[in-house]
A = this chain, B = another copy of it.
Amino acid sequence: MPHLPNMSVPAEDFDDFRKMTLLSMEEICRDIFKENQHRIKIKKEAVAVRNLVNIFHTTLQISNEKGFQTMSLRDLSRVSGLSMGALYSYFSSKDELLEMIQNQGRRITLKILSQRIRAGDAPSVQLQTAIRTHLYLTEVLQPWFYFSYMEAKNLKKTHRKKAIESDLVTEEIIREILEKGAEKGEFRVDHPMLTAAVIKAMLQDWYLKRWKYSGRKIPVQAYADFIIEFVEALVLRKSSESSR
């Protein structure tokens, strides 16, 4: 059991997040159903949602193990228990399945971050909130985020562009917070863009290397605390503490 970062943050913070955001596989699939009526041939919402949960859960499971391209629809059929024909009631091609999954995450990330970052807060509070929220979000939806990251290369060009833009949204948010903090004299940030990009990398490592942190028994709160500490060491430096 590694010595954990600063544990003064209440241990229930992540559970609060979970309760407040009410993110579940079912809610996500209900949204997908509503937005994709034109491509899903099933009329009954309850039936559709139930099977979409199954389909996406199974797709993420298999794909995150061996890759979306390596997974065949026969794999998906066998593991999900749905026939080949039934699968095609929910999407009309394997590519479409990919797009449906990739389209999630984007709106969720932006939505949750926007909700939780309050405009009136001090930049230092906003920065902590941004970091913590992103990590908690990716903790709840780890398979989705992992999939989106690893399978982005399978997207057609137009959709790949959207994925890239989405990737940059979080960075933008962080960059803006950093810049505002610098303007107010709270932060020392020489390169907001680069700093935001590197912070993003720290956040992504959590869901990309989930096996590693899980194996080391590091809870998401501890990781969040540590990243905040790391980042604040940089941006809250005093002038005389320049490393060079």
Q: With A2-B191, A191-B5, A234-B234 as given contacts, are A226 and B244 in contact (CB-CB < 8 Å)?
A: no
- Answer whether A229 and B201 are a contact pair too, CB < 8 Å, given A5-B190, A67-B154, A153-B65: no
Q: Which of A189-244 contact B (CB under 8 A)?
A: 190-191, 193-195, 197-198, 200-202, 204-205, 209, 212-213, 216, 218, 223, 226-230, 232-234, 236-238, 241, 243-244
Which of B190, B233, B243 sits near A3, CB closer than 8 Å?
Answer: B190
- For residue A158, CB closer than 8 A to chain B, the reply is no
How many whole Å from A122's CB to the nearest CB in chain B?
Answer: 14
Report which of B6, B168, B241 forms a contact with A233, defined as CB distance below 8 A: B241
12 additional contacts (CB under 8 A) given A2-B193, A5-B190: A2-B194, A3-B191, A4-B191, A67-B67, A69-B69, A168-B212, A194-B223, A198-B202, A198-B205, A201-B201, A201-B204, A230-B234
Q: In the complex, what residues of B have CB within 8 A of residue A44's CB?
A: none
Which residues on the B side are within 8 Å of A64 (C-beta)? 153
B153, A67: Cβ atoms under 8 Å?
yes
Please report the C-alpha to C-alpha distance between residue A34 and residue B206 in the assembled complex, in whole angstroms. 39
List residues of A whose CB falls within 8 A of some B CB.
Answer: 2-6, 8, 64-67, 69-70, 150, 153-154, 168, 190-191, 193-195, 197-198, 200-202, 204-205, 209, 212-213, 216, 218, 223, 226-230, 232-234, 236-238, 241, 243-244
Shortest C-beta distance, A137 to chain B (Å), equals: 18
* A-B contact list, 28 entries, CB within 8 Å: A2-B194, A4-B191, A5-B190, A6-B244, A8-B244, A66-B154, A67-B69, A67-B153, A67-B154, A150-B150, A193-B216, A194-B216, A194-B218, A194-B226, A195-B226, A197-B205, A197-B209, A197-B212, A198-B227, A201-B204, A201-B205, A201-B209, A229-B234, A230-B230, A232-B243, A232-B244, A234-B234, A236-B241
